[in-house]
Amino acid sequence: MKNTLKFLSILFLSILMFSMKQDKPTKVIFFGDSITQAGIGPGGYITKMKEMLEKQGIKSKYQLIGAGIGGNKVYDLFLRIEDDVLAQNPDVVVIYIGVNDVWHKTSHGTGTDADKFTGFYNAIIKKLQSKGIKVICCTPAVIGERTDNSNAQDGDLNYYSGLIRTIASKYDCPLVDLRKEFISYNLKNNPQNKESGILTTDRVHLNDTGNQFVADLMMKAILK
């Protein structure tokens, strides 16, 4: 009798814990720079994703958190990963970084060399995956929306995007290829070859159309 009661108690607790786990929303952290920092504001891509989840009736199944800081590069993410990401025990982390690593080479005389960029990016993924966290990688979108390869940083953005594609493949991470998608969108929707105003406000940061465009791409990766 005692053994039966003990078995039933263990079974009940197991069912209860499983039920609680099933009810727990999937916690997704978006880890990045000022683009992600703005993503949690009105009209931001993370805000739009929350609205999309609500419309689909699955808002309670996901918890979306923005962890973006303006000016951040890949090594900034590495330095704050413990406090801003791991401490929150996420299920999924979306890494959206690279614009400042390229842009700041000319705008601030800093930036991140390709080998260091790769090293820090690898280290971030290893830390996250060692905790059982799913990692989604994103390529940096644009620094200028001209479609004739005349944006000053096009070469570097293409190169660093290639590095991220290789890293994502190496660690078996889903990839949101924003670089590819933004170029494709602008080729179709920027016949006047404008440097901004199509998906961005200032060549880099997203306008309303850009935020929705990113939200749609991110949503596909999250729900996959």
Segments in the chain below pLDDT 70? 1-22
Selection from 208, 91, 98 nearest residue 143 by Cα:
98
Q: How is the beta sheet containing 134-138 ordered, strand by strand?
A: 62-68, 26-32, 92-96, 134-138, 175-176
Query: What pLDDT score does 108 carry?
Result: 79
pLDDT of residue 194: 98
CB atoms < 10 A from the CB of 3, how many? Answer: 7
Contacts of 84 (CB under 8 A, 6+ apart): 31, 67
Q: Which among 26, 130, 119, 27 has a CA at the least distance from the CA of 77? A: 119
Q: Are 64 and 37 in contact (CB under 8 A)?
A: no
| pLDDT score at 216 | 98
Q: Give the pLDDT of residue 58.
A: 97
- pLDDT for residue 12: 56
CA distance 88 to 170: 26
**Each residue's pLDDT tens digit, 169-205:** 999 999 999 999 999 999 999 999 999 999 999 999 9
**What pLDDT was estimated at residue 22?**
57
Q: What is the pLDDT of residue 31?
A: 98
pLDDT of residue 59: 95
Q: What is the dihedral of CA 146, 148, 153, 159, to 10 degrees?
A: 120
How do residues 26-49 score in pLDDT, each as one tens digit?
999 999 999 999 999 999 999 999
| Mean pLDDT of the chain, nearest integer | 93
Report the Cα–Cα distance between both ends of the chain, in Å, rounded.
Answer: 47
Predicted pLDDT at 5: 56
Would you list the DSSP string of 108-145?
TS----HHHHHHHHHHHHHHHHHTT-EEEEE----SS-
Helices (H), 131-207: 154-170, 178-189
Global confidence as pTM: 0.89
What would the DSSP string read from start to end of 1-56? -HHHHHHHHHHHHHHHHHHHHHHSPEEEEEEESHHHHGGGSTT-HHHHHHHHHHHT
